[in-house]
Amino acid sequence: MQVARWPSFVFRGFGIANLIFACLGLRLLAWSLLALREKAIGNTSEHPYFLSVFWTMTSIDIVLLTLLIIGGIRLLQLGAVGVVVCNLVFVAEIIYFAVLNFAFPVSRSIVAAFGPGMMALGPQLICGYPLVALVFLNLARRRHQTLIAVAHHTPV
């Protein structure tokens, strides 16, 4: 009997993609911090809370990127925990993005900080990576669990 290996390929593929997106996000975040250091961005009379919003968004980005790295490593190890961590990260990213979009009318500082503050997660959100990864990782996890159950003759 041929055992399907595609769940392992999916786990490892998304594990590698997680690490690539995390590295890219950290690189873009470094550019934002460099712009801040060079005083290219900051508080203005129009955006008095820019720096507070920017540092809040940057902190959230760092936490999400760290969890993305952890999830990517666990996926490369073919650990089921990797899928759980990635599910949490991707759902959190989608909610975070939605909340920020709904907050636009409330604060001009959020609007101003959105670009530099979302640099770390921007590439993922632009290509829809969180949604794609959620679908494929959960399909692969379900198939992987089915294969394990069949191998051990236990009900799913």
Is residue 45 in a domain? no
Token pair recorded at residue 36: 């801040």
Give the residue among 130, 139, 141, 105 at the shortest CA–CA distance from 21: 130
Give the pTM: 0.84
pLDDT (tens, 9 = 90+) of the chain, 156 residues, equals: 445 588 889 999 999 999 999 999 999 999 988 887 777 666 767 777 788 888 999 999 999 999 999 999 999 998 889 999 999 999 999 999 888 888 766 677 777 778 787 889 999 989 999 999 999 999 988 887 777 667 677 665
Is residue 43 in a domain? no
State in Å, rounded, how far the first CA of the chain is from the last one: 20
- Report how many domains make up the chain: 1
Q: Which domain holds residue 97?
A: 6-34+52-152
